[in-house]
Copies of this chain bind each other. A is one copy, B any other.
Amino acid sequence: MPGIHCEALRALPQIRAGDDLAALIAAVLPDDLGDVDLVAVAHKVVSKAEGRTRRLAEVEPGERARALGAERDRDPRLVQAVLDESVELLSVRGPLICVTRHGFVCANAGVDRSNAAGEDELILLPEDPDATARRLRDGIEAARGVRPAVIVTDSFGRAWRTGQVDVAIGVAGLSPVDTWAGRPDAFGRELHATSIAVADGAAAAADLARAKDSSQPVVLVRGLGRYVTPEDGPGAAPLRRAPEDDLFR
Contacts and interface: CB of A to CB of B under 8 A. Distances in A.
Contacts of A115: 185-187
Contact of A200 (B90, B159, B163, B198): B163
A245 interface: yes
A226 to B, nearest CB: 9
A7 B240 CA distance: 29
B1 A114 contact: no
A6 interface: yes
Interface in A185-231: 185-187, 189, 191-198, 200-202, 204-205, 207-216, 223-224
A91 to B, nearest CB: 4
A1 B159 CA distance: 30
A181 B213 CA distance: 12
A3 to B, nearest CB: 4
Contact of A205 (B7, B164, B204, B215): B204
A192 B5 contact: no
B204 A114 contact: no
Contacts of A216: 1
A interface: dominant SS: loop
A201 B197 contact: no
A194 B208 contact: no
A183 interface: yes
Contact of A201 (B192, B207, B248): B207
Q: Pick the most buried of A91, A116, A200, A208: most chain B CB atoms within 10 A of its CB.
A: A208
Interface string A61-96: 000000000000000000000000000001101110
Interface of A: 1, 3-8, 90-91, 93-95, 97, 104-105, 113-117, 119, 155, 158-167, 176-178, 180, 183-187, 189, 191-198, 200-202, 204-205, 207-216, 223-224, 238-241, 245-249
Given A115-B186, A164-B196, 17 more contacts: A1-B8, A1-B209, A3-B6, A114-B191, A114-B194, A116-B187, A119-B189, A158-B158, A158-B197, A159-B241, A159-B247, A160-B240, A161-B197, A161-B241, A162-B239, A162-B240, A164-B197
